[in-house]
C-alpha cells in the first residue's frame, strides 16, 4: 500500500504543469497567498504533499480522501483571508487543524 501511495505522489508531481521553473520548493516557506493563488504549484499538489508529510509524522499510512478534501477546504478558507496571506501555510494548517483542547 505504501508503494502505491508513493507511486501516486510521484505521478502527481510528474504530471504537474511545466510552467514552474523552480525544481525544488521549501514547503515551510510557502505562504497562504502563494498556496491559494497557485504561485508555487497547483494547490492540490501541495495539499497532497502536506497531507503525506503530516501523516508521516504521525506514522499514519492510510489516506482518508474525504478528510483530505475537508481539511483542504478549511485551510483554504483560512488562507484566503487577506490578513493571513503572509502566514506560512504549514503554520496555518497547524492553527486550523490543531486538536481543540
Distances (CA, A) of 66 to 7, 8, 24, 54, 73: 20, 17, 28, 16, 11
77 lies in a domain? yes
Could you tell me the residue range of the domain that residue 56 belongs to?
2-15+28-97
23 lies in a domain? no
Q: What is the largest CA-CA distance in the chain?
A: 43
Record the pTM: 0.73
> Lowest-confidence range among 8-12, 27-31, 65-69?
8-12
pLDDT of residue 54: 92
Contact 10, 54 (CB under 8 A): no
Residue 31 backbone phi and psi in degrees, to 5: -90, 165
pLDDT in tens, 70-89: 999 999 999 999 999 999 99
Measured from the Cβ of residue 60, the count of other Cβ atoms closer than 10 Å reads: 12
22 lies in a domain? no
Number of domains in the chain: 1
61 lies in a domain? yes
84 lies in a domain? yes
Amino acid at each position: 500500500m505504501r508503494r502505491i501511495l508513493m507511486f501516486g505522489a510521484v505521478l502527481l508531481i510528474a504530471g504537474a504543469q511545466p510552467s514552474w521553473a523552480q525544481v525544488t520548493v521549501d514547503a515551510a516557506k510557502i505562504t497562504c497567498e502563494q498556496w491559494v493563488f497557485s504561485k508555487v504549484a497547483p494547490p492540490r499538489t501541495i495539499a497532497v504533499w502536506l497531507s503525506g508529510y503530516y501523516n508521516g509524522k504521525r506514522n499514519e499510512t492510510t489516506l482518508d480522501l474525504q478528510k483530505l478534501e475537508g481539511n483542504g477546504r478549511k485551510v483554504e478558507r483560512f488562507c484566503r483571508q487577506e490578513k493571513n496571506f503572509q502566514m506560512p501555510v504549514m503554520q496555518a494548517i497547524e492553527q486550523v487543524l490543531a486538536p481543540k483542547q
